[in-house]
Structure 1
Amino acid sequence: MEEGGPQSRYVKLTKDQAPLEDIKPGELNQPIDVPQLHVRKCNECGQALPESFEPPANEPWTTGIFGCAEDTESCWTGLFCPCVLFGRNVESLREDTPWTTPCICHAIFVEGGIALAAATAVFHGIDPRTSFLICEGLLFSWWMCGIYTGLFRQSLQKKYHLKNSPCDPCAVHCTMHWCALCQEHREMKGRLSDDVVMPMTVVNPPPVQEMNSARNGNGNGMAPSSAKSEEHTNLEMQAL
């Protein structure tokens, strides 16, 4: 275009027109901070909670840890077969877990360690060589009793919002294992009995009824002589 001609509307771009900005790798993929999304969430499901939500207060245990005599059945079961009582407790808390699985685990780790120590003392006597094996078996049973059953007690407290014991749940089972099993069984037994569905009154529907009406052409109440002139209307009533 000639220099003396009219000025063009287009701007000629050159390399020196604007400086180039240096963009670091990943700079454009940074997360955006949205203050409206900073809300409290449920620890179990992760859903957002309203601002007015208040967590339920911790409730006391319905029975004390030394109230074993209040439920005779669980008391005798926990005394002679603690593995069976522990399996029933786990099944009541977790419906997808049969009672046989925790019962077998309890029998192997707890009763098995005690039986191993007793068998070592009976067949090999108590001397410096066997004392180490006996103490090792008892220590293993004591440690597994506190860890395995203490985690279950912690889940029970979390589900029913029960107040924590004076000491850790694992320490409760390490010191008073049989009493703790009976207390947990009584707690779930009392709470599950409150959720029993009340019996409903069942009303049986009436039997099926049929109504037949014959319409005659002459209206005198007499049956027609021809079968073609007879019309039957069947009405059937059924209960939905």
Structure 2
Amino acid sequence: MAEGGVQSRYVKLTKDQGPLEDIKPGELNQPIDVPQLHVRKCNECGQPLPESFEPPADEPWTTGIFGCAEDTESCWTGLLCPCVLFGRNVESLREDTPWTTPCMCHAIFVEGGFALAAATAFFHGIDPRTSFLICEGLLFGWWMCGIYTGLFRQSLQKKYHLKNSPCDPCAVHCCMHWCALCQEHREMKGRLSDNIVSPMTIVNPPPVQEMNSASHSHDDTAPSSAKSSEHTSLEMQAL
């Protein structure tokens, strides 16, 4: 029975079924809590995780931030052309991004700031007001470069589950920019070399053999020892 003694409009299907109440307006639009849907999800992709899943532990960096001499090629590239080294690092981490795009952004922030400061000093001379403008422009460009490259370092740490440094990734690039670029290049270079697939071996099938009446009669007359000596050779070629 509904409230107020009004008879329900629903018909009972069985005798044992109790009286049904009328559905109130908006009652069907209420959210339903399903306990089975309360599962852990990945912070990166949002996929549900199994109950037995345990997040991987943070791994240390394979090389220190001051180990630039361990890879002389990246050391010289980072010292002379840091924009090129940064572009290669981004391309190795994100295959859909060409190295030229981050290289140009890095060149605008760092190399462009140095060029602007040199041009200002050349055309306006060195005086207190000009020096203040030069320092302000350099600090702004360096700060923007630290934020841009620090976001890339943070993505690298998340991908390989690397331990966070005592300082923020942006602060690391602002204080030790060239050393951080070389460390990131060595880290990806070492991890990508571990994922190289070992060379495979290709086995070529034997050539197709045809049999005619003449060869059949010749095989019948040949001794059994000669037949047993014949074998099929396999050609193996390393890929």
TM-score interval for Structure 1 and Structure 2 normalised by the shorter chain: 0.7 to 0.9
**Residue 18, structure 1, aligned to residue 25, structure 2:** no
Alpha-carbon distance in 2 for matches of 1:78, 1:144: 18
1:172-218 per-residue CA deviation (whole Å, 9 max, x = no partner) reads: 0000000000000000001011001111112222233322247xxxx
Alpha-carbon distance in 2 for matches of 1:205, 1:161: 45
Deviation at 1:139, TM superposition (A): 1.6
**1:55-94 mapped onto 2 (5 Å cutoff):** 55-94=55-94
Deviation at 1:107, TM superposition (A): 0.7
Per the normalisation by structure 1, the TM-score is 0.77
Structure 2 equivalent of residue 110 of structure 1: 110
Deviates more, 1:178-187 or 1:123-132: 123-132
What code does the residue aligned with 1:212 have?
N
Per the normalisation by structure 2, the TM-score is 0.77
What code does the residue aligned with 2:78 have?
G
Question: Runs of 5+ in structure 1 lacking a partner?
Answer: 1-15, 220-240
Alpha-carbon distance in 2 for matches of 1:104, 1:187: 23
What code does the residue aligned with 1:91 have?
E
Runs of 4+ aligned residues of structure 1 deviating over 6 Å after TM superposition are 19-22
**1:27-176 mapped onto 2 (5 Å cutoff):** 27-176=27-176
Deviation at 1:19, TM superposition (A): 8.7
SS of 1:203 mapped into structure 2: strand
Structure 1 equivalent of residue 201 of structure 2: 201
SS of 2:174 mapped into structure 1: helix
Structure 1 equivalent of residue 14 of structure 2: none
Please say if residues 86 and 102 of structure 1, whose CA atoms lie closer than 8 Å, have aligned partners that are also in contact: yes
Alpha-carbon distance in 1 for matches of 2:133, 2:27: 62
Deviation at 1:113, TM superposition (A): 1.1
Identity of aligned residues (%): 89
Please say if residues 86 and 181 of structure 1, whose CA atoms lie closer than 8 Å, have aligned partners that are also in contact: yes
- Based on CA coordinates, which of the two structures has the bigger radius of gyration? 1
Alpha-carbon distance in 1 for matches of 2:199, 2:83: 34
Alpha-carbon distance in 2 for matches of 1:53, 1:172: 32
Alpha-carbon distance in 2 for matches of 1:199, 1:23: 70
